[in-house]
Amino acid sequence: MGKRFSALALALMLVFALAGCAGTPPSSQPASASVPASAPASSSVPAAETRWQDTLAAAAAAAQPGQAQTDGAATEAASAVRTWYEVFVYTFCDSNGDGIGDLTGVTETLDYMTYLGFNGLWLTPIFPSPTYHKYDVADYTAIDPAFGSLDDFDALIAAANARGISVILDFPLNHTSVEHPWFVAAKAAVTEGRMDDPHIGYYHIAQEKGSGNWEELAPGWYYECQFWGGMPDLDLASPALRAELEAAAAFWLGRGVAGFRLDAVKEFETGNNAFNIDTLRWFNDCVKGIRPDAWLVGENWDTTPALYTYYASGVDSFFDFPFAGSSGYIAQALLQADSPASRYTAALADELPLIAAQNPGGTPAPFFTNHDTPRAAGFLRRDAARIKLAWAMNLLQNGNAFVYYGEELGMAGSGKDENKRAPMYWTADPDAPGMTAGPPGMDAQEHPFPPADQQIGDATSILEFVRSAVALRQAQPVLALGQVEALDLGDAPAKVGAVQKTLGDETVVLYFNLGGDAATLPNIAGTLTASLPTGDAPPTLAGGILELPGLCIAVVAG
């Protein structure tokens, strides 16, 4: 553990030690951003303490618990899906002062993730690679030295599991690095005319270029590399290659990972969905044969109905691209005057039968942004209320929901990829212990909202709102697991919509006001059990009349 950063572990341990010593169980009150989820902690921070780790820890220690109390049945049901935090390791947290994030840095910040309520952690690739992003793998069964060692990885898994956090690894199956020994061997064999070398069959190598991007391997020979020349595409039809990848998957499952995120699955053979689905079926069967409870989520960057056909592979989840980013249902509903709330609520209900038709056990994986997309603060025009509501809409979707690191802070980042992967904004001092330098070539970033050490404990912050939304999701499993029906609200304003969710004997209705004006809804039966308002005024339900402020969500139990 780096001396420069070891104080963070002790400081964050203090958060939960103090919370536990209070002698008061978590509040059974429904999570609501209209009720302060925390209190300022200025009286708890000694004047001499200036390190962000200690400030963050003291503020968190003074905060009220963010997760509503649940009974055993609810906890068991909630374990069927998780709420995931995506960490781009290179820029997340630096434990040794070299400016690069690492596995020990992730371990030292697990209590921050727990404070927010996350019980799943997705690590972007951690394998040896010549690039900062590591999506071009040079060895599938090792840790990049910049990130640490296998011992550091094992410590992270143990610490995460002790907190109830499952860890999945990003597993790029589509391509490797040109530095991978397989590709080095294939290139040498082709150059020397040893065409019987099995490594040649690991890649798409031919004497004529195919469609898309191909680069020269040797005189008169070419290799496919659809993303760029440094990422040669694998030939996943090769039995020998499949055996290598099966061994790599078994290696990590044996070290305690809960599953994998599968990169670029529709590019296994671009334009050949049948082959891609069959390949995923092979990998799913392999992984589940090793660990039956493992969980797989695929990246199929598609917003058409073809996305749902990939569930026939048996893979548990695919990222829900139709709802994500600046052109997805969520952003359209919040930004476009001609996009009614009913379009969003209908989409929530319509996708579940499409998934079930292909895989009855499949679940969506809603996300709003990730390491490949612009951050939400930019395309939501730095509007804190809409940023908050967008994340609530994401987190209250069915399935395994994902939040990209720093989005709980409203971080900036758009344009080239490096900007989308800026250093986690722990504190305003870029040279403070734990801060990373960022990817090479990143533009300077000016974040529109305060850093983590100022947002934690501030009941009006984006961070505390996201924490409340996660708490609500965890407290009421019906929100993530229920059958969904879009409701017709008659002559309600166009920006007001509702969905009914049912799980067993429990039924709730979520009312969304996605516009800025307050709305009054008559003839509403049930009890208002929770709300996520983005402003000062919470919704009310009395005498069958629901008063719904602008940019607000209300949960009514029937």
Active site residues: 263, 299
Going through 111-206 in order, the beta strands assigned E by DSSP cover: 120-123, 166-171, 205-206
Nearest of 389, 379, 396 to residue 475 by alpha carbon: 396
**What gap in Å lies between CA 281 and CA 311, rounded to an integer?**
9
The secondary structure of residue 233, as a DSSP letter, is B
Nearest of 93, 98, 244, 99 to residue 156 by alpha carbon: 93
How far is the CA of 513 from the CAs of 18, 127, 341, 368, 500, in angstroms?
A: 38, 44, 8, 19, 15
Two tokens, residue 110: 């697990």
Residue ranges of alpha helices (H) inside 117-197 are 150-162, 181-192
Nearest of 363, 340, 336, 339 to residue 352 by alpha carbon: 363
How far is the CA of 256 from the CAs of 82, 153, 515, in angstroms?
A: 17, 10, 45
**What gap in Å lies between CA 381 and CA 383, rounded to an integer?**
5
How far is the CA of 24 from the CAs of 28, 63, 70, 163, 487, in angstroms?
A: 11, 13, 15, 20, 39
**What gap in Å lies between CA 167 and CA 541, rounded to an integer?**
40
Two tokens, residue 422: 């800026």
The answer to whether residues 240 and 229 touch, using CB atoms and an 8 Å cutoff, is no
**What gap in Å lies between CA 473 and CA 455, rounded to an integer?**
21
Read out DSSP for 442-489?
PPP---SS--HHHHTT-TTSHHHHHHHHHHHHHH-THHHHSEEEEE--
Sign of CA dihedral 261, 263, 268, 272: positive
At residue 408's C-alpha, the angle toward residues 475 and 79, to 5°, is 30
Two tokens, residue 361: 């056990």
Query: Which residue bears the tokens 């709980």?
Result: 408
The answer to whether residues 198 and 189 touch, using CB atoms and an 8 Å cutoff, is no
Number of alpha helices (DSSP H) and beta strands (DSSP E) in the chain? 17, 18
- The SS3 call for residue 416 is coil
Sign of CA dihedral 392, 67, 8, 432: positive
The answer to whether residues 500 and 506 touch, using CB atoms and an 8 Å cutoff, is no
